[in-house]
Chains A and B, each alone.
Chain A
Amino acid sequence: MLTLQFVPYSDIGHLSSEKKTQKLIKVVKENKIVLLEGKLRSNEKSELIRKTMEEIDDKFKGIEIEELEMEKKNSALIERLRAMFINLVLGSRRGMTIIGPATIIKEIKKDPNKIQLLTDEGKKRKKKQK
């Protein structure tokens, strides 16, 4: 059984990078897959990796992480301008980040229209339509 936990931006947006990563890793260590509204900044992702490494033990092997863009690539100019404006307003809240325990998610595959979480349960696949 897979548990997905949605984490809205409002839950973590006000936290420091350290507190943010602590909160995310806590959920992942409960064997849940985090669906985070928005994206982490580069320094927050490196902090997440660093903290993950410190938490690795016989039970917790690390994480798989992937980001979903909301705008399509190669879209028309007006669409790209619209996306730029929305990015300006929403900033880090745009898009979505999936973070899951490496013991459950073997790989996250992304292509333009869907994201696949490949688990170890008899090579079952879960598709998530964007």
Chain B
Amino acid sequence: MKIFHNFLRKFLKNLFKKKKEIKLGFYGPPNGGKTTLANKVSMDWIGEEVGKVSGVAHETREIQIKEEITIKSKGKELTFNLVDTPGIATKIDYEDFLKSGMKEKEAKIRAKQATKGVVDAIKWLDDMDAVVVVLDSTKDPYSQVNITIIGNLEARKIPVLIVANKTDLKKSNVKKVQAAFPQYDVIGISAKYGKKIDEFYEALFKLTRR
């Protein structure tokens, strides 16, 4: 009778338990390809984009969320809220935006928005259940921004997957990224062309242990 009672209690508890949605954050320095990758994932599974992409740094200046994306592979399923964040930087100069053809007033507004975006990205770090750190594999991975982001995630015990993006470019060096962060899974992809994207999805299952 007691066994039956315990079984019934567990069964009813699981029946009415609210399913916790995983918040999967995309973090990294500006122009690494976070939004390009977020758009690729979102288009693949729900047919919608997350945000706008351009060659100008700090295109993403607000937290952008796509809820309830479900990815499926080999009988496994993973549902998450995708959180695309502004690139984290230690400096923002409105004059850099002038070089992209913007007028001064517009450039200053964009710089202000970009600084707020970085602040928001840092604040949201605490809320993430798992994080994909998207790095440009043509650039030096040993930057203090990368080390700071990954160090904070490690301190908060948030699982991390590192993506070495832009493998379609000649200067791409995935091995350098792997050597910089040997304690983490590092996967080389091209978010723009979808190269190795299936391996990325497999890595997400491993990241969230599903």
**Chain A interface residues (CB < 8 Å from chain B):** 41-43, 45-46, 49-50, 52-54, 56, 58, 61-67, 102, 110
Tell me which residues across on chain B come within 8 A of A66, comparing CB atoms: 144
Chain A residues near B118: list those with CB within 8 A.
49-50, 53
With A49-B88, A61-B91, A63-B90: A54-B115 Cβ-Cβ less than 8 Å: yes
* Interface range for B: 20 to 34
Contacts of B54 in A (CB 8 A): none
Interface centre among A46, A52, A63 (most CB of B within 10 A): A46
Residue among B90, B111, B152 making CB contact with A43, cutoff 8 Å: B152
Contacts of B155 in A (CB 8 A): 41-43
Which of B94, B118, B125, B147 has the most A CB atoms < 10 Å from its CB?
B118
B203: interface (CB < 8 Å): no
In the assembled complex, B71 has its CB within 8 A of some CB on chain A? no
Q: Closest approach, in angstroms, between the C-beta of B33 and any C-beta of chain A?
A: 21
26 contacts between A and B (CB under 8 A): A41-B155, A42-B148, A42-B151, A42-B154, A42-B155, A43-B152, A46-B122, A46-B149, A49-B90, A49-B118, A49-B145, A50-B118, A50-B122, A50-B123, A52-B91, A56-B111, A61-B93, A62-B89, A62-B90, A62-B92, A62-B93, A63-B90, A64-B91, A65-B144, A102-B90, A102-B93
Tell me the bound Cα distance from A61 to B92 in angstroms: 6
In the complex, chain B residues 97-156 whose Cβ is within 8 Å of any chain A Cβ: 108, 111, 115-116, 118-119, 122-123, 125, 142, 144-145, 147-149, 151-152, 154-155
Cα distance A43–B116 in the bound complex, in angstroms: 18
Compute how far the CA of A52 lies from the CA of B89 in the bound complex, rounded to whole angstroms: 10
A27–B151 Cα gap in the complex (Å)?
Answer: 25
The A interface is mostly helix, strand or loop, or mixed, namely mixed
A103 to chain B, nearest CB (A): 8
Residues of B within 8 A of A49 (CB): 88-90, 118, 122, 145, 148
A43 to B126, CA, bound (A): 11
Chain B residue nearest to A101 in the complex (CB):
B91
| Distance of A50 Cα from B152 Cα, bound (Å) | 13
The CB with the most chain A CB atoms within 10 A, among B91, B108, B116, B122, is that of: B91
Interface residue from B91, B92, B116, B144 paired with A67 (Cβ < 8 Å) = B144
Determine the distance from Cα of A102 to Cα of B90 in the docked complex, in whole angstroms. 9
How far in angstroms is the closest Cβ of chain B from A100? 10
What B residues does A64 contact at CB under 8 A? Answer: 90-91
The answer on a CB contact under 8 Å between B119 and A45 is no
CA–CA, A49 and B147, complex, Å: 13
Given contacts A45-B151, A46-B149, 5 further A-B contacts (CB under 8 A): A43-B152, A49-B122, A52-B90, A102-B90, A102-B91
A83 to B118, CA, bound (A): 35
Give Cα distance in the complex from A15 to B186, angstroms.
Answer: 36
Asked if A46 and B90 sit within 8 Å, CB to CB, the answer is: no
- Give the 10 A-B residue pairs with the shortest CB-CB distance, closest first: A62-B91, A42-B151, A102-B91, A53-B115, A45-B148, A61-B93, A42-B152, A53-B118, A65-B144, A50-B122
